[in-house]
Amino acid sequence: MKKVLTTIILLSTAVFSFAQIPNAQFEQWSERNVPTLDDWNIAGNVTKTSDASTGFSAVRLDNNLATNTFGLVTNANISTSISGGHPYTDNPLVMTLSVKYDLAPGDVGKVLLIFTAAGNPIASIDFTVNGNSADTFEHYKVPIQWAVSTNPDTAIVAISTVDLTNATVNGDGYMIIDNLGFESVGSPNDDLPNNDFENWSNVPINYPDNWYTTDLLILDQYNLAADLNSVVRETSKPHDGSVSLLLQNRMAEGDILPGVAVTGESVAAVENPAFPVSKNWNVLHGLYKYLPDNGDTATIAVAFFSNGSLVGYGSIDFADSTDTDLYTYFSIPITFGPSVSADSATIVINSADFDNPVGENTQLWVDNLEFSDYSLSTPEIEELQVAIYPNPASTTLHLSGITGPVNIRVLDAQGRLVLSSQETTIDVSALHSGTYTLIVTSENKVQRRSFIKAE
């Protein structure tokens, strides 16, 4: 799962361009409602079907030769080891089930059942079908092979349309399973939860418009219809507007997955153009907060393209914790090849290293992405001639020399944004005493000044 993942502002004036970056303030979000099977894990090509042996629904698993994908339904964890399952304490003699199928030559539909006690297998079934059932349900009673007479504590079931030892698809095909149960001497035993596959729920997958996320990747690649919340619509502490982007590491089937957001509609956008640009911007700006766990490092990267070829790139890593109550400013210089004009770009944000996320609780907040032609660490473009007074200031700071609309940002000594205003008189009474940086932009001009907040 992690191998798939590996393939995967501050100043608001005319010298910047919100429009260049889609949904740059992360205010717009959408939702996918994905049907998922209650009490079971599903992966791959698994759908709800009304073609049922009894009742209103059953579960359908499909093979697709073109994509070499298949269906898997299990009550275990979908990972490299068999664990999980449903609690179960009876000693049934047979497993009962109804199956309709049409499988390509060489493909087998399988139902694997393992009863365990204290983690040790004590009984099993390896049931298979192949060929087709002539568009009718076949009903089976399959003997259970008990190795010991001990009562189990867990039943683990895995249903698939291929042999999981090689997971190779030989052709298109399907298998429908309904009413998986147990009997002992002709009498039903306790059933597994939702054993008739009647109960399905819609799981909402939320994502920022024009961005592709870990949650969508897991859904599209594995059909794991579970909202991991690896990329979250954060409303409690946004900087501007009502929303910021929260990316966080999550556990999924035994793996730690980083929160990833990439512009575009698929993971392919990591290495391909995702949105148009009108020029070679020099800097990507933004605001962030970071809470790493166990030594994680976050990354924000931007790539520019011309006719599909990479022509510019920049990135920044975050390894240290920041104050999670205040956003910290960042800027990423972008380096271009000689004599090329970019026509498109891609931005990738991840909460931890793609290859090696290590902390289960790592969190990264991002807001207000913008392109510009300068950064705070480089000589500014044409400067404003702004006077500020009084300096030091204890309650109110005044600015003069500004004739048009103004945007003002106040950063503390650590580069965190602590105050913003569009007025030339600023209330600084709530700031702690110390030295602050004032960033003033107006009419395509900028000035950076320092002032002291007095008691």
* pLDDT score for 183: 93
pLDDT category of residue 447 using cuts at 50, 70 and 90 = confident
Check pLDDT > 60 for residue 59. Answer: yes
Instruction: Sheet with 425-427: list strands edge to edge.
Output: 387-389, 396-400, 425-427
Higher pLDDT, 373 or 17: 373
Contact between residue 406 and residue 420 where contact means Cβ atoms under 8 Å apart: no
- DSSP secondary structure, 103-166, as one string: --TT--EEEEEEEEETTEEEEEEEEEE-SB-TTS-EEEEEE-EESS-PPPSEEEEEEESS-TTT
Q: What is the pLDDT of residues 240-273, one digit of tens each?
A: 667 889 999 998 767 899 999 999 987 665 678 9
Please measure the distance between the N-terminal and C-terminal CA atoms of the chain and give it in whole angstroms.
55
- The pLDDT confidence band at residue 365, using thresholds 50, 70 and 90, is very high
Is 300:346 a contact under the CB 8 Å cutoff? no
Q: What is the maximum span of the chain, computed from C-alpha positions, in angstroms? A: 94
Q: How confident is the model at residue 53 (pLDDT cuts 50, 70, 90)?
A: very high
Write the burial class of residue 415 (CB in 10 Å: 0-12 exposed, 13-18 middle, 19+ buried).
middle
* The pLDDT of residue 160 is above 90: yes
Distance CA 434, CA 254 (A): 47
436 in Cβ contact with 410 (< 8 Å): yes
Average pLDDT in the 217-227 region?
Answer: 70
pTM for this model (two decimals): 0.69
Most confident of 4-13, 310-319, 416-425: 310-319
Strand locations in 307-444 (E): 309-318, 327-333, 335-336, 344-350, 363-372, 387-389, 396-400, 407-411, 416-421, 425-427, 434-442
Q: Coil, strand or helix: which one is 419?
A: strand
Q: Residues of 249-282 as b/e, b for ≥16 C-beta within 10 angstroms?
A: bbebbeebbbbbbbbbeebebbeebbbebeebbb
Q: Are 444 and 14 in contact (CB under 8 A)?
A: yes
Q: Residue 10: pLDDT above 50?
A: no
Pairing mode of beta strands 335-336, 283-291 = unpaired
pLDDT in tens, 297-341: 999 999 999 999 999 999 999 999 988 888 888 889 899 988 889
Average per-residue pLDDT in the chain? Answer: 86
Whether the ω angle into residue 357 lies within 30 degrees of 0, i.e. cis, is: no
> What per-residue confidence (pLDDT) applies to 6?
34
Half-sphere exposure of 175 (CA within 13 A, CB side): 26
Mean pLDDT of 150-164: 93
Q: For residue range 174-213, what is the model confidence (pLDDT) as tens digits? A: 999 999 999 987 777 888 999 999 999 988 889 999 999 9
Mean pLDDT confidence for 329-354? 91
Query: Given a cut of 50, is residue 64 above it in pLDDT?
Result: yes
Q: What is the CA radius of gyration of the chain?
A: 29
For residue 406, what are its two tokens?
Answer: 């103004």
Q: What's the half-sphere exposure (Cβ side, CA atoms, 13 Å) at 374?
A: 19
pLDDT grade for 346, boundaries at 50, 70 and 90? very high
How far is residue 12's CA from residue 17's CA, in Å, rounded to a whole number? 8
Extract the tokens encoding 423.
């007025």
Residue 88 binned pLDDT confidence (cut-offs 50, 70, 90): very high
Q: Which domains does the chain have, with CATH numbers?
A: 2-31+209-372 (2.60.120.890), 39-188 (2.60.120.890), 387-453 (2.60.40.10)
Question: Where is 215: in which H helix or E strand?
Answer: helix 214-222
